[in-house]
Every structure is written in structure tokens, then in C-alpha cells.
Amino acid sequence: MTGDDGSGLVVCAALRLEARAVRRGLARAPAVVVGYRARHAARLPDRAAVAVVGFGGALDGRLSPGTVVVADEIRGGGKPVPCPGARARAAELAGGGLRVHVGPLVTADRVVRERERHVWAADGACAVDMESARVAAALPDGTPVAALRVIVDGPHHPLLRPGTVTRGLAAWRVLARTGPALERWAAALA
């Protein structure tokens, strides 16, 4: 199941911008673009482990832009998908100087508004994206999956406001620092 590069990991991002950021920190694993709402997830190469990365929205008002949310489970595609090793990945990222939070990630089919944020936050979820559950659903059973999102917007930082571009650039720089932890996670699984 491992690829030609021997890493056994493929890193997925919705946007080319996100894939370009995470590629900066990857030594061997490929970063592929799965598209908005993971339209191309069915075309993922067969790998031993998959990581879904990119930008996300905070559901918890305590999470500020630039915080890395490491999912311990992915919700939104039926049965929640566990993400093995989330706490170890988070500790490694925090040791590298990043702000990190561990918790459930919800995949939505659209940009969420305030009312939905409150409902999902009350259910314990801390962040939202539009791809992770779709990617996880496209994987063969038993494939380990990791998901991490760098917060760009949230209850106190709405998406469609001035400042989003600045927050996005800062999030891009944070995302570029996550690749080594993802590769070490995949190597530990092997």
C-alpha cells in the first residue's frame, strides 16, 4: 500500500494554496489537491495513511486564528471516524511553537453561520471544514486518517470580513510547519 517514495502517506488539501503550504514541510510524502468539498477524493492514490489538512473555521470561540486544530475524530459523514495519535501529533506541533488544540472536527456542506456554530460547539466539536469526512469516507476500511486545520475564521473573526486575507496568510505560514509531524505520524504507524 505504500507509494514509490516509501512514505506510505498522502497528504490531501482542498486548495492548491493549502497543498503548496504543507508541501514546504514534507520531505517525502506527496500533497495532493482533492478540491473544494473533496470532489476528487475518489482519485486518491492507494496509501497506508492519509492526512487531510488545510484551513478551517473555529466553532469554539476560545480558538483564535492561527491555532492548529488536530482532530481526534472526524464527524459529518455518518459514523464518526477516529484519528489515531492525535494527542501525540498535537504535542509535537506544540513543541515546535505552534498553538494547538485537540478535539472533534465536523465536515459541513457549506460555510457555516453563527447558529450552526453554536449547535456543533454545544455537541463538543471545536472546528469545521468541508473535506475531511468526505475524504475519510472515500478511503478503504482501516486506513488510518489524520485531520488538522489551521483556524482562519470563527465566532469572533467572521470569514467574510476585512482581515480574512491577513489571517489567511498567517494560517498559510502555520500550515507550512505541519508536514514533518504528519510524516513522523505515518512512519510510526508502519
- Residue 48 in any domain: the answer is yes
Looking at residue 25, which CATH number applies to its domain? 3.40.50.1580
Q: What is the pLDDT of residue 5?
A: 46
Task: Give pLDDT tens digits along the chain (190 positions).
Answer: 344 444 689 999 999 999 999 999 999 999 999 988 888 887 787 778 999 999 999 998 888 889 999 999 999 978 999 998 999 999 999 999 999 999 999 999 877 777 777 788 788 899 999 999 999 998 888 899 999 999 987 665 555 566 666 777 788 899 999 999 999 999 888 7
Q: Residue 47 is part of which domain span?
A: 9-189
- Selection from 65, 145, 140 nearest residue 107 by Cα: 145
Query: Do the domain assignments include residue 4?
Result: no
User: Is 22 domain-assigned?
Assistant: yes
Residue 126 lies in a domain: yes
Pairing mode, strands 100-107 and 68-75: parallel
**Total structural domains within the chain:** 1
C-alpha cell at 141: 476500511
Q: Is residue 29 part of a domain?
A: yes
Cβ-in-10-Å burial (0-12, 13-18, 19+) of 36 comes to exposed
pTM: 0.88
Residue 1 in any domain: the answer is no
Assigned domain for 46 exists:
yes
The separation between CA 99 and the C-alpha centre of its own chain, rounded to angstroms, equals 15
Residue 3 is assigned to a structural domain of this protein: no
Biggest CA-to-CA distance, the chain:
46
